[in-house]
Amino acid sequence: MFEKKPKSYTELLGKTNRIVEGTIIKGDIETSGDFRMDGHLIGNFQTKGKIVIGPASSVKGDIICKSADIEGKFEGKIQVLEILNIKSKASIHGEVICGKLAVEPGADFSATCQMKPISKTHHHGQPAEEKATQ
């Protein structure tokens, strides 16, 4: 009567991708799941989930995501739909657009920052009204 659809392998293990320390990626990353970066990325990153940039990690490029925790270094433009958490050891340089912002004391936050209401910001950085007319 109630048939359960079998879960995919990634759903059983969780949907968090991970790049470990010592790994350098040059290029763009696009995913629908959560992502933890402990290596280095030179390129753009986009996810419908959360990105965590670990303490030994660095990202140089643009990020579009639902939420983010940054402990390492980031240089570029970051657009966060919901909340951006910047930890005390983080270093942020560039441009920040987010729904909510939390910065721990001690963080290096050298960026322009725009706070945008969640309802008006579409995931791809376009206002919802603009996206609806396309």
pLDDT at 122: 47
**Each residue's pLDDT tens digit, 29-80:** 999 889 999 999 999 999 999 999 999 999 999 999 999 999 999 999 999 9
- Domain contains 69: yes
pTM of the model: 0.77
Average pLDDT of the chain to the nearest whole number? 84
- Domain contains 32: no
Task: Give residue 72's domain range.
Answer: 46-117
Cα of first residue to Cα of last residue in the chain, in angstroms, is 42
Our count of domains for the chain comes to: 1
Q: What is the DSSP string of 56-94?
A: T-EEES-EEESEEEE-SEEEEEEEEEEEEEE-TT-EEEE
- Domain contains 75: yes
